[in-house]
């Protein structure tokens, strides 16, 4: 084991380690700036958050060292066991965790509080990688696909039961791993369409166009265009594509002529009729040719229509009040600068005031006067933007991009499906966290409360990401071993 561990240090990807260390150090400095107290100015003061974070960082480095010392085959052998342990812990958290701001997601262990959802990310990644490494595993088989989905969905459901929607949504990033391993691109396209339908249908739901909702009308037009596009791209049938557009043009001209005579046109009814007629036309083509792609297009269209008319129900009856307000603020439907939109508005003020060069380290007025809530946790990026300006923010984002790109490089050089799938899980989770957190801080995404990796204050987040990353480095360092 001694000589083996020496070889490991030669095989570790030091580029990733250096990027990790730079991000952790920058995060520590940012936490000090965000929580700076004139009465306790020392960065090493353990009574302050910067001092406590230094302790978490020291323990994270110890964890990283211990993880690298463990044989990589251990992670594959005990992947399912680790996953089951974390699933049980997530379930227990629902009942054992105290109520903190409406959620039950933190377990108190003496003076320390831990969030199991942060550690479940690496456990879920291990289980997914272990499943894909099964002999003769093919994702396109329905049974295998269902097993993969169950591994991802189970922690999502348990975390949502803890009232931590933001943390639960992180696990949806693993769908990119499924796509990399052979899942149809139609699933990703369907997800994109669902987000588009939700945003457009909701944002313009109260805007009337003639006798119907503008949001629903726009979405129905988009569904028709998607059906025509799928005919062209998937079926490669120019004849049917041409017929559809001729039909759509006739319907559009008919609606226009009708309005000239002062007769109101109900866009939703017209759109539904057009979707129905298009589906019947494609069904006729299927009966003639027995080509299943026609049925796929019909199913996609019908599912889209059902989803469209369920948006209002989900938004009004399923989501909680604070979630609805955050979405409405993010979509510009409401301002609420003293309520749900307060954090984002103050964050944008802080980032905007930093300009290109920033106000200087420890000179951020928004930060020092505590205008931005959670400024050393979920909203820590606004501290960087205010004090270091555009250039500092850009450097941080470049470091994150370099780390994610490096993880993808590591994934492509793995010699086993286990290592490759786990690496893509790491890349997907990091990408989701960085993209959503930064988007949230600058007002592009709803506030869902997820930390910025290696920057946000807290031991659970730092340790969770450290374990996630260094398990990959351990696997990569031993990729030449045939296990």
Query: What contacts 416, CB < 8 A, 6 or more positions away?
Result: 133, 479, 483
266 vs 417: CA distance, rounded Å: 53
- CB neighbours of 370 closer than 8 A, spacing ≥ 6? none
**For 463, phi and psi rounded to 5 degrees?**
-65, -40
Q: Which runs of E-coded beta strand occur in 116-231?
A: 208-209, 212-213
Distance separating alpha carbons of residues 464 and 460, to the nearest angstrom: 6
User: What is the pTM assigned to this prediction?
Assistant: 0.88
8 Å CB contact between 55 and 464: no
- Locate 295 and state its tokens: 């049925």
Separation between Cα atoms, residue 87 and residue 315, nearest integer Å: 29
Q: How many CB atoms lie within 10 A of CB 134?
A: 12
In angstroms, the CA 52 to CA 399 distance is 24
What is the enclosing helix (H) or strand (E) of 112?
strand 112-114
Whole-number Å distance between alpha carbons of 188 and 178: 10
Closest CA to 273 of 238, 293, 295, 301: 301
pLDDT string in tens for the chain (483-residue length) = 444 554 778 889 999 999 999 999 999 999 998 887 766 667 888 878 888 999 999 999 999 999 999 888 899 999 999 999 999 999 999 998 888 777 888 888 777 788 999 999 999 999 999 999 998 889 989 899 999 999 999 999 999 999 888 889 999 999 999 999 988 888 889 989 999 999 898 888 888 777 788 889 999 999 999 999 999 988 888 999 999 999 999 999 998 888 888 778 888 999 999 999 999 999 999 999 888 899 999 999 999 999 999 988 888 887 877 778 878 877 777 766 666 677 788 888 888 888 888 888 888 877 777 777 778 888 999 999 999 999 999 999 999 999 999 999 999 999 899 999 999 999 999 999 999 999 999 888 888 888 999 999 988 999 999 999 999 999 999 887 644
Q: How many CB atoms lie within 10 A of CB 389?
A: 19
Compute φ and ψ for 449, nearest 5 degrees.
Answer: 70, 60
- Residues 357, 391 contacting (CB under 8 angstroms): yes
By CB atoms closer than 10 A (0-12, 13-18, 19+), residue 172 is middle
C-alpha–C-alpha distance, residues 104 and 161, integer Å: 8
Quote the CA–CA distance of 447 and 377 in Å, as a whole number. 13
**Which of helix, strand or coil describes residue 121?**
helix
> By three-state DSSP, how is residue 380 classified?
coil
Place of tokens 């085959």: 73
Torsion angle (degrees, nearest 10) of CA 134, 138, 144, 149: 100
CA distances to 148, 172, 421 from 133, in Å: 12, 21, 9
Q: Over the range 320-341, which residues count as b (16 or more CB within 10 Å of their CB) and which as e?
A: eeebbbbbbbbeebeeeeeebb
């Amino acid at each position: 084991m001694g000589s083996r561990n020496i070889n490991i240090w030669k095989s570790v990807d030091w580029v990733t380690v250096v990027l990790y260390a730079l991000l952790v150090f920058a995060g520590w400095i940012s936490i000090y700036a965000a929580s700076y107290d004139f009465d306790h100015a020392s960065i090493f003061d353990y009574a302050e958050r910067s001092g406590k974070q230094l302790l978490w960082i020291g323990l994270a480095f110890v964890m990283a060292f211990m993880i690298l010392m463990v044989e990589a085959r251990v992670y594959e052998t005990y992947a399912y066991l680790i996953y089951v342990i974390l699933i049980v812990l997530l379930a227990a958290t629902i009942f054992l965790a105290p109520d903190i701001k409406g959620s039950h997601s933190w377990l108190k262990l003496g003076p320390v509080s831990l969030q199991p959802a942060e550690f479940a990310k690496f456990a879920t990644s291990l289980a997914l990688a272990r499943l894909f490494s099964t002999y003769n595993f093919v994702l396109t088989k329905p049974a295998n696909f269902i097993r993969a989905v169950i591994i991802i969905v189970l922690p999502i459901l348990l975390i949502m039961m803890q009232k931590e929607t933001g943390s639960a949504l992180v696990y949806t990033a693993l769908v990119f791993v499924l796509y990399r391993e052979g899942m149809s691109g139609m699933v990703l396209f369907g997800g994109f369409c669902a987000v588009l339908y939700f945003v457009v249908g909701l944002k313009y739901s109260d805007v009337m166009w003639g006798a119907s909702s503008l949001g629903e009308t726009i979405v129905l037009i988009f569904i028709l265009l998607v059906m025509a596009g799928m005919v062209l791209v998937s079926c490669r049938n120019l004849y049917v594509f041409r017929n559809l557009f001729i039909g759509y043009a006739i319907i559009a001209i008919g609606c226009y002529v009708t309005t000239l005579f002062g007769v109101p046109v109900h866009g939703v009814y017209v759109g539904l009729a057009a979707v129905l007629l298009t589906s019947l036309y494609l069904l006729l083509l299927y009966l003639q040719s027995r080509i299943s792609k026609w049925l796929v297009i019909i199913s996609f269209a019908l599912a889209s229509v059902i989803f469209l008319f369920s948006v209002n129900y989900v938004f009004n009856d399923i989501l909680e009040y604070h979630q609805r307000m955050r979405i409405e603020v993010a979509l510009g439907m409401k301002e609420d600068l003293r309520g749900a939109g307060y954090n984002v508005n103050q964050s944008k003020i802080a980032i905007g005031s930093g300009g290109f060069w920033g106000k200087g380290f420890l000179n951020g007025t928004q930060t020092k006067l505590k205008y931005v809530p959670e400024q050393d946790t979920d909203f820590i990026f606004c501290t960087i933007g205010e004090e270091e300006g555009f250039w500092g923010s850009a450097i941080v984002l470049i470091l994150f991009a370099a780390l994610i790109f490096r993880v993808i490089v590591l994934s492509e050089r793995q010699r086993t499906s286990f290592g490759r799938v786990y690496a893509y899980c790491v890349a997907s989770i990091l990408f989701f966290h960085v993209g959503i957190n930064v988007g949230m801080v600058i007002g592009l995404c709803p506030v869902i409360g997820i930390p910025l990796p290696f920057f946000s204050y807290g031991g659970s987040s730092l340790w969770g990401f450290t374990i996630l990353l260094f398990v990959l480095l351990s696997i990569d360092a031993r990729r030449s071993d045939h296990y």
